[in-house]
Structure 1
Amino acid sequence: MDFWVRLLGGSSQKKQAAPNNPQQRLARFRQRYNQVLQSWQKTPNLANDREALGNIRRAFQALTAILNDESRSPAPHMCLQFAAAQQIYTAVSKIAATSHDEGMVRDAVAFYNALIDSEEEDFLENDVFAVSLMNFINRTVGSGSMGVGEDIEADIVELLFGIAAKIRLQPEILPVWFTTTSADSNGRLVNQKVDFAGVTQKEDFPLCYQLIDHVHHEGRIGDFARTGLLYIFESASRSITLEQWIVNSDLPTLMATGLGALYSQMSRKLSILHPESDMPLILSLSDYAEMQHNPQAESFFGDDFQNHLVTFLSYLTFWQDVLEHCRSTDVRHTLIDHFQILFLQQLLYPSLLESSDADGGSSVAVLTYLRHILDALDHPELVHMILQYLLALLDYTAASPKMPRSPAAVKRRQSLMLLSAPGKDDDRLNPSLFNLVDLVLGSTASENPQTVIAALKLTKIILSKNHGYALGSLVKVMYLHHKEPHRTVGSLNKELKEYLDLAVGLAGLEGVDEAYENYLKDTLSALENHPCTLKTITLHPTHPKSPGYFDSAESTARDVDPHYLLPEDPLFQSILDLLRRFLTNDVETNLALSEAIIGLGTCSQLRLEGWLSVDPADYHFESNDIESTEYLNEDMRNTEMASRLPEWSPSATPQLLLCLQQLQAQVEALRGDIPDWDEHVANRKNAFRFHEEMSEAMKISTLQSKPGPPSSDTPVGSWTPQIPKHLLESSTTPLRSQSPRGRKEALSESRGTPAASPAPSRFGGQTLVGSPSRALSPLSAPHNAKRQTTLFSDIDANFAGLKHAEFFKRRIRFRRSAGSNTVEAMLSKYQPPPKDPDDAATGAETEEEKGEIREASLLHIITNVVILQDFVLELVALMQVRASLLNEVKFV
């Protein structure tokens, strides 16, 4: 028994003594290090000796384990002292760099991490350590290096990121990693001859250049590199030498050209048509599959294109983050100058200028890229620069006071301006001759549906995020001086009733109440988050940034004053022209069209009179009833007067309502001509609802089957690209939502429990089913739902069978006479017979061939009617929420 006690006790004592005895730990550390030196010295060609490589790798791993163990142990830390005194990291660097072995490189990176994480012996403040580490990295992942795997490269860039983070927190160690021979005794850079590209001096700051070389990568490599470089630019405000070095270096040029390179990698021709194999239900129940795909254009929904787009937007967001965190005025202005000259003027605008609708994709590509750029950017200076230039607006901020620049920054800008100065034969690169307004107006009138869709989506982004830049350019307006409302609550009630009656007349009462409640919530969120509304209903808080942070950026946020929409506005007229053809438009065009109109109406400073509501000047009242009634006080009389229902002449009908009434007339004609029309419409709404419920059930089932949230590979504290949400969601969604009319589920989720609607529905809270406007609708199935059940496959098969039913494939024509704004449905008795070849040979033109003839299948038209009803309901919600939130009508 005593034998076992002594044996176990002795074993326990040895196990406890080894890690806690600094002398024994140092002895083991020195023994391992000597083994590394002996193996290295005895091996003439380390790269070809696998046995020696294995021995050295095991020794590296042991050294790293001892250092990590010692860092967690009480002082003294004799191994770290020995490593610093003997500079053993130099040997590690040489061995790993000459081994040409990825495993050896990985072990060396772990060893360096152990030294840095120990935060002792001031390794990061040691010049020899910095030179040794950077030589190792340059030989490993630099130009002409051995080349390592992506995972090892990510570990190396993560190591560089850690050093940049230390420099940000401890500015005193910057001179160790950044040295320049061109500084005078006061630390200022000596004037040098600098061209527009700046001076390349990698030996001055190799850490920074390594980060610059990796900012374009995807995944962890790009994330760590961008964040590390972000810390370097942030440190420039605390070092005059680094600040002037960045201004004079080629770093801004490399950043701008890198952004341009990522933009150039994206296809010049783009197709935004959804693939037939993964088409949303609302598109499959239409003639969408008949749209022609350009074989020369790259698909927007392809994996390769999505990867390129995400990488480009990540780098664009990185630019924005750098400008927001950089406190150096000279560095920030230099970066902005390079963005403007090398990317905006030399690349982005020429791509806009060279785009064409005739080649079947380049206009679609440019419009789509601009939409994503503007959707991703929030920095006022970048947004102002892009829109001011592309829309050919006067730079009204040029005369505003700005922070002074240093002579070096002034010279750098002058060099860039000389580079961009157009020659005599280059006057075509002038936005005053052709700009984004011309492209959008031409694209909305295009015969190519994809071009129209791309233009409308871009218009919606500009109107909703940067409405002030659209005024006077995209949208022609007239400003007004009075702010008090002239519309009355009586006129609002009458207009709401007209629109609601129109919606019910289009597709019946089923589902209207539920859809209307949803749109009230969505519209309230959209109005509250619109930049114009934020300035209208909130106080102006003190900006938390330091003075001069945005410099002139505060003035670049254009103030929007109250204004009217001019009736002859070209863009609005193009929108009305598209609206008149609503029943024969493709579904995605109608969804983008309705989004653009709603986006126009969400500006709190744009009055609705004239285009959505009746101008108060056209009200007519019967005053006899008011005059003959006695009131207790003046307020009661004013309230009664404001509640009167006015009358107006047909000529005073708003343009949008007039178009909707014409569409209703077309639907009424089809209802009288096609048997069981209302039943077909109700079945379509039920199909949407049924598929929606199944999609929701599949989503819930998928979420419940997961054991837990996936673990993130991104380390704590790392930077994540701010990718726009629509890119991270299912790419099968053709627009902002998952419903036939664009229900914003993201808004309802972010708001938590839905709030009460601003006003009750006129339908008295009935429980109505079949609305296609619920949060999770059939617009798209979850991206991960790959026909997981036989039931879901059967549902899709039934819908496919419905699509190919002969009755629903029947083609219906719509005629628009030349010079007329009225579109008429050609009923069965007016359908022309098939053309006789003999008549076609004579070239005789029939009456039906005069003007514009468009046609669509019955299936397609019914789907558009359901969408149109939801659009009208959203217009009603817009008018009602604006009246209550913005006090747009008089109650007294």
Structure 2
Amino acid sequence: MDFLTRLLGGSSQKKKAAANNPQQRLARFKQRYNQILQTWQKSETLANDRDALSNVRRGFQALTAILNDESRSPAPHLCLAYAAADQIYTAVSKIAATSHDEGVVRDAVGVYNALIDSEEEDFLENDVFAVSLMNFIGRTVGSGSMGVGEDIEADIVELLFGIAAKIRLQPEILPVWFTTAAADSNGRLVNRKVDFAGVTQKEDFPLCYQLIDHVHHEGRIGDFARTGLLYIFESASKSMTLEQWIVNSDLPTLMASGLGALYSQLSRKLSILHPDEGMPLILALSDYTEMQSNAQAESFFSDDFQSHMVTFLSYLTFWQDVLEHCRSIDVRHTLIDHFQVLFLQQLLYPSLLESSDVDGGSAVAVLTYLRRILDALDHPELVHMILHYLLALPDYAATSPKAPRSSVTLKRRQSLMLLNLDKDDDRMNPSLFNLVDLVLGSTVSRNPQTVIASLKLTTVILGKNHGYALGSMIKIMDVNQKDPHRTSGALDAELETYLNLAIGLAGESGVDDAYNTHLKDKLSLLESHPCTLKALALPVTPVKAGFFDSEVGPREVGPHYLVPEDPLFKALLDLLLRFLTNDVETNLALTEAIINLGTCSQLRLEGWLSVDPVDYRFRDDDLEPDQFSTDSLRDMYRANRQPTWDSSATPPLLACLQSLQAQVDALRDDIQGWEDHVSSRKLAFKFHEDILEANKTAPTPIKVAKPVETPAGSWTPQIPKYMLDGPTTPSRAQSPRGRKEGLDTRGTPAASPVSSMLGGATLIGSPARGASPFTAPRGANRQTLILDVNANFATITNSDLLKRRIRFRRTAGSQTVEVMLSKYMPPPRSPPEKGSEAADPIAEAEAEAGDDGDDIREASLLHIITNVVILQEFVLEIVALMQVRASLFGEVKFA
């Protein structure tokens, strides 16, 4: 036995030694390579010879294995030296291109990868290698090529990415992959530009053109292509020839046209209604299912639309990354100019101009796309360009980048502007119709989806790009006096008024816990606001902003008042007055927009949210003590007095909320058990939220995925989180609170300053849990709890009492809404049958208007109760906002 063991061991050691022997390895390599050549030469038509294809594939795989093994072995590396001397890659390229077989192409890519990853023999510095590789890629994935599967195409683009990464790290190899015959004797590039589009010069830099041909793809292909092209633009600052070549080429045109192509793939008509399956609880406990979308509109929540949207936003983010990393001023200016003319002015703005509220979805689509674009962009130049143009802010040229441009880029910009002027007419001028007009018109629309989309876009602009909204979307008056006029006593009186209003709407249960949570949320929201960041920042010495040659941005935001006649604010108040009959999603977007309006540290609350100090009234019997030891004590006493005010001095927002409270009081007086219904609804939201939290924290079976072998030298780009996260319904959809994300924010990046609004515990109902229909039995498993909750929710929605519909009448020109309770009790409305013709919500709403122009709306009791719970949360948000602002910004005086 020992003899056999030693014999077998010795044989194994001999085989291992033979495998590591450079000479024997070279012999095997030559043998395999010669077999491949012989098979190729003997086959008359390689594409139709299956046996020959199999032999070639096995040969390529063997070459790859030997090269990878040699790269891990100590020198000498004879196989790599032989591959470089004999230029085997030339034959590999020809064989793979003539095979018309995906398997052979995949194995050929493996051979090229092995040669490049060896980092020996300077393959990337070899002109013949570069030509051979690009010819191979052009024949396999180029235009009019054989066509391969996405997985193979991804491998090829990954190979291109690896070369671009090497060029970025080793600029000296750039001339191997980028050559131009237009350079003079001094190496300067001769201007070959003939028109604004630039010159197509694929023969100069085929690697770059291959990357740009794939940047629009989804998944790995697009990620590798975009990152590789990003490295090319970054390398332009290290090569004057490449810099001038990019400026003169059609590369910027292709990039802008590609962005426009992806935008054009998005549906022209869009529906943002949630599907019945998996509908959020807060929508299910309302009349949301009665809303019908246009059958021609694509659903925002469909997989196809989400896929197109993610691809478009990825490419838009790629533009932002290029501008962020490109150190070449001329290249950056050229890209920005093409973005402005070819995408913004010739595609994005016309889609805004052509949108309509009567065709059932085009206005919704444009508003939603603009919101997603602004939410995804953070680059100051792109944001400035889009908002400055779409909002028709004055004199764009005066606020555009002021750094001196080279003669080439200056002439190019002039030609672009002239081209745009030639094609534009009076109808294509933002000064006549712009984003402000679209938002204001959409906010007062009869179509709930249009209103929702407009409010969400408004929220993004107010919260993230606040400086651009001032003077355009919202009308303001500057404040010369910086010292506060409001007193601490007035603040206490206002907080008490709002708090009593909140309790009067939906009871006192859970208010303390909810309010404490709102305080934390509002502090976080205020601290992240761009105006707050500037107001609270420590004074520092101005520093030059790196390689950025300009500091474009919004206007400087100083202290200001909101003009009482502001059209947008009046539209928000008009929506708020109809809060009880609005659909739930409109109310969530409305409250978020109003709260974001109040988060600007420079906007004074007087006149719209709080009482103007000139209207304070103090009681006659509130006399000052005869003597104070110091003047400061007298001032403190005066500042802490709680004033009153006349009804005419009531802030518009408070007056609107008081009108809603009167509507709720009328419902409470007429409907038996109103308080119990409201408490049960609050408890239902709380219990359902607890169930969801329990599902998140409960242990789940761990799925062990099969490990995926990654080829040596491969790289996986960093994919944004919003691309990796599956489409889920955020927490806001389950309760009236938790406005951390909107109801439709699938795939939305979570870094937006306006996305962090509410969170934490919701209102807790006052009835004991044991007396509630939502009792959680001890020891019950999660599945049983969910089934039990769903059954009880079905009982609620099927209740005849809660199906009772109530009409609200608002006389034309009046701010008073009459609740028509016992006067009118229409029968419950049954939802439309599936497949039936969807009703036009605009025509239906107009049909409900009275003969004298009165606004008549109706909703079920189920729907109204849900809105009352949301309204109480909103009022608590206002109280928390006022209190946090007062302490954070010193808005009230204590002396």
With structure 2 as the length reference, what TM-score do the two structures score? 0.90
Tell me the distance in 2 between the aligned counterparts of 1:159 and 1:365. 38
Deviates more, 1:56-65 or 1:118-127: 56-65
Taking a change above 3 Å as real, the CA distance of residues 371 and 89 of structure 1, as seen in their structure-2 partners, is same
The 2-side partners of 1:691 and 1:711 are apart by 37
SS in 1 for 2:10: helix
User: 2:676 — aligned with what?
Assistant: 679
Match of 2:69 in 1: 69
Task: Report the equivalent of 2:166.
Answer: 166
Matches within 5 A, 1:119-198: 119-198=119-198
Q: Mean alpha-carbon deviation: is it higher for 352-361 or for 799-808?
A: 799-808
- The answer (yes or no) to whether the contact 2:686–2:735 under 8 Å persists in 1 is no
What is the alpha-carbon distance in structure 2 between the residues aligned to residue 275 and residue 407 of structure 1? 55
Partner of 1:79: 79
- Quote the Cα distance in structure 2 between the aligned partners of 1:95 and 1:18: 30
Give the SS at the match of 1:30: helix
CA distance in 1 between counterparts of 2:84 and 2:447 reads 69
Select between 680-689 and 425-434 the one with higher mean Cα deviation: 425-434
The answer (yes or no) to whether the contact 1:357–1:363 under 8 Å persists in 2 is yes
Secondary structure in 2 matching 1:820: coil
> Aligned equivalents of 2:63 and 2:708: distance in 1?
29
**Larger CA deviation: 880-889 vs 3-12:** 3-12
Q: Which residue of 2 aligns with 1:50?
A: 50
Aligned residue in 2 for 1:493: 492
| Cα shift at 1:832 | 8.9
2:384 and 2:552 in contact (8 A); partners too: no
Which residue identity is paired with 2:446?
E
Aligned 8 A contact 1:591 1:742 in 2: no
1:645-794 paired onto structure 2 within 5 Å: 645-701=642-698, 704-707=700-703, 718-722=716-720, 728=725, 730-733=727-730, 739-744=735-740, 769-770=764-765, 789=783, 791-794=785-788
Shift of 1:446: 0.6
**C-alpha distance in 2 between matches for 1:802 and 1:443:** 34
What TM-score, normalized by structure 1, do the two folds share? 0.91
Cα distance in 2, alignment partners of residues 475 and 696 from structure 1: 39
1:551 aligned residue (549, 552, 558)? 549
* Cα distance in 2, alignment partners of residues 187 and 695 from structure 1: 66
- Tell me the residue number matched to 1:98: 98
2:285 equivalent to 1:289: no
Correspondence for 1:601: 598
Give 1:467's aligned residue.
466
| Aligned 8 A contact 2:294 2:360 in 1 | yes
Conserved? CA contact 1:811–1:857, under 8 Å = yes
| 1:13 Cα deviation from its structure 2 partner | 2.4
**Residue 563 (structure 1) aligns with:** 560
Q: Is the 8 A contact 1:818 1:850 kept in 2?
A: yes
Looking at structure 2, the residues matched to 744 and 89 of structure 1 have their Cα atoms a distance apart, in angstroms, of: 55
1:873 to 866, 869, 876: 876
Q: Tell me the SS of whatever aligns to 1:434.
A: coil
* C-alpha spacing 1:431/1:711, structure 2 compared with 1 (3 Å): farther
**1:256/1:338 contact within 8 Å kept:** yes
Supply the AA of the counterpart residue of 1:866: V
Task: Report the Cα distance in structure 2 between the residues aligned to 1:767 and 1:872, rounded to whole angstroms.
Answer: 14
Please give the alpha-carbon distance, in whole angstroms, between the structure 2 residues aligned to 1:709 and 1:565.
57
What secondary structure sits across from 1:278 in the alignment?
coil
Partner in structure 2 of residue 583 of structure 1: 580
Contact 2:510–2:765 (Cα < 8 Å) also in 1: yes
Q: 2: distance between equivalents of 1:80 and 1:359?
A: 66
User: Which of 845, 860, 863 is residue 863 of structure 2 equivalent to?
Assistant: 860
Give the stretch that moved more between structures: 253-262 or 623-632: 623-632
Q: Distance in 2 between matches of 1:179 and 1:270?
A: 47
Q: Structure 2 CA distance, aligned partners of 1:258 and 1:245? A: 20
User: What do you get for the CA RMSD once the two structures are aligned?
Assistant: 2.8
Aligned pairs (5 A) from 1:790-869 = 791-829=785-823, 851-869=854-872
Cα drift, residue 870 of structure 1: 0.5
Alignment of 1:290-689 (within 5 A): 290-395=290-395, 398=398, 402-422=402-422, 426-539=425-538, 547=546, 549-552=547-550, 554-622=551-619, 627-689=624-686
> Equivalent residue of 2:98, what SS?
helix
**Once the two structures are superposed, what CA deviation does each residue of 1:697-746 show, in whole Å capped at 9, x if it has no partner?**
22333x63234799899998643454659x9464545x966531343289
CA contact (8 A) 1:522 1:744 kept: no
Q: 1:115 to 1:620 in 2, by over 3 A?
A: same
Structure 1 Cα separation of the partners of residues 480 and 129 of structure 2: 68
Q: Which amino acid aligns with 2:498?
A: Y
Find the aligned partners of 1:169 and 1:460 in 2 and give their Cα distance: 43
Please tell me whether the aligned partners of residues 376 and 723 of structure 1 are also in contact (alpha carbons under 8 angstroms): no
8 Å CA contact retained: 1:515, 1:771: no
1:791 deviation in Å?
A: 4.2
SS, match of residue 398 in structure 1: helix
Q: Is the 8 A contact 1:208 1:232 kept in 2?
A: yes
* Separation in structure 2 between the aligned mates of residue 193 and residue 450 of structure 1, nearest angstrom: 47
Letter in 2 for 1:851: D
**Which residue identity is paired with 2:350?**
P
Greater mean alpha carbon deviation, residues 597-606 or residues 692-701 = 692-701
1:11 pairs with 2:11: yes
8 A Cα contact 1:376 1:724, kept in partner: no
Amino acid at match of 1:212: I
- C-alpha spacing 1:95/1:629, structure 2 compared with 1 (3 Å): farther
For 2:802, what is the secondary structure of its paired residue?
coil
Q: Could you tell me how far apart the structure 2 residues matched to 1:181 and 1:369 are? A: 43
Per-residue Cα deviation, 1:832-883 (whole angstroms, up to 9, x for no partner): 999xxxxxxxxxx999976221111111100100000000011111111111
CA distance in 2, matches of 1:620, 1:188: 78
Distance 2:169 2:214 in 1: 22
The size of the alignment, in residue pairs, is 848
Give the 3 Å change call, closer, same or farther, for CA 750–419 of structure 1 in structure 2.
Answer: closer
CA displacement, residues 152-206 of structure 1 (integer Å, 9 cap, x when unaligned): 1101000000000000000000000000011112222112242121111111000
Contact 2:732 2:741 in 1 (8 A): no
Quote how far apart the aligned CAs of 1:407 are. Answer: 2.2
Residue aligned with 1:151, SS: helix
Structure 2: runs of 5 or more not aligned: 752-756, 768-780, 829-847
Equivalent residues of 1:452, 1:589 under 8 A apart: yes
Aligned to 1:778: none
2:371–2:457 CA contact under 8 A, matched in 1: yes
Mark the CA change 1:564 to 1:708 in structure 2 (over 3 Å): closer, same or farther.
farther
> Structure 1 pair 487/730, CA: closer, same or farther in 2 (3 Å)?
farther
- Alpha carbons of 1:738 and 1:210: their partners in 2 closer, same or farther (altered >3 Å)? farther
- 1:411/1:710 CA distance change after superposition, 3 Å: farther
- The corresponding residue for 2:892 is 889
- Partner AA of 2:858 in structure 1: E
The answer as to whether partners of 2:514 and 2:762 remain within 8 angstroms in 1 is: no
Aligned mates of 1:716, 1:560 — CA distance in 2: 49
Aligned to 1:824, the other structure's residue is in SS state: strand
Map 1:179-258 onto structure 2 (within 5 A).
179-258=179-258
Report the CA distance shift for 1:546/1:466 in structure 2 as closer, same or farther (over 3 A). Answer: closer
Could you report, residue by residue, the CA deviation over 1:38-87 in whole angstroms, capped at 9, with x for unpaired residues?
Answer: 21122121111111211221121111111111111111111111111111
Question: Identity across aligned pairs (percent)?
Answer: 74
| Alpha-carbon distance between aligned partners in 1 of 2:383 and 2:249, rounded to the nearest angstrom | 26
Distance 1:638 1:58, change over 3 A: same
Q: d(CA) in 2 for partners of 1:724 and 1:664? A: 40
The AA in structure 2 aligned to 1:439 is L
